[in-house]
Chain A
Amino acid sequence: ETGVTQTPRHLVMGMTNKKSLKCEQHLGHNAMYWYKQSAKKPLELMFVYSLEERVENNSVPSRFSPECPNSSHLFLHLHTLQPEDSALYLCASSRYGVGGDTGELFFGEGSRLTVL
């Protein structure tokens, strides 16, 4: 139990569907992240929010839309996805930024997305 909870754990959707992934952290952290992990590829950073402001958008297609309504919750809204978007989507949080001596990332267990 890392203190970062992701729902749903598994999601199957068609290319025309609209769905959302939810992440909640109970650690009092200020920064939240979305990472994507495709089969046989390294984790890719998608979005970073710090104090509810987006500070990083790593050239992610607009069919992925993040939302951070408060420092404890992060959503990833999905619409008109492609089969190649099938992957494990991981949420993480940190007290401040990462790197240096500013602390560590805490990851959720991920949401396994399959796009048909």
Chain B
Amino acid sequence: DAKTTQPNSMESNEEEPVHLPCNHSTISGTDYIHWYRQLPSQGPEYVIHGLTSNVNNRMASLAIAEDRKSSTLILHRATLRDAAVYYCIPASGGSNYKLTFGKGTLLTVNP
């Protein structure tokens, strides 16, 4: 499994953009980059994933560096409900069933 490095914690203000970084310098060529988040007292939920190109969905955007050794999850306008632990997880395809969670980044959103 590729090793990831994320800040332990970050802080943001409500309605401001948030950029959550992730380093995954040992990522393999077939690994997709997945992001999940875990709100307090809940199970993790899927946010977004991508391979090489930047990706957008209704929750967030994912910017992937050209060398794929890092990525950034972008929340365009943080809300209080976005306060959670965010996990960046490289994982390969095929018959792989492993999604290995690290410690993630605890995002605090101030009103």
Contacts and interface: CB of A to CB of B under 8 A. Distances in A.
- The answer on A and B forming one complex is yes
Interface of A: 2, 4, 31, 33, 35, 42-43, 45, 48, 50, 55-56, 90, 92, 97-102, 104-110
Given A42-B103, A105-B99, A99 B44 contact: no
Interface band, chain B: 20 to 34
Contact of A101 (B32, B99, B103): B32
B91 A99 contact: yes
Contacts, number: 76
B88 to A, nearest CB: 12
B45 A45 contact: no
Given A42-B101, A50-B97, A100 B32 contact: yes
A43 B43 CA distance: 10
20 contacts: A2-B43, A33-B97, A43-B44, A56-B97, A97-B97, A98-B96, A98-B97, A98-B99, A99-B32, A99-B94, A99-B99, A100-B30, A100-B91, A100-B93, A100-B94, A101-B93, A104-B34, A104-B49, A105-B36, A108-B43
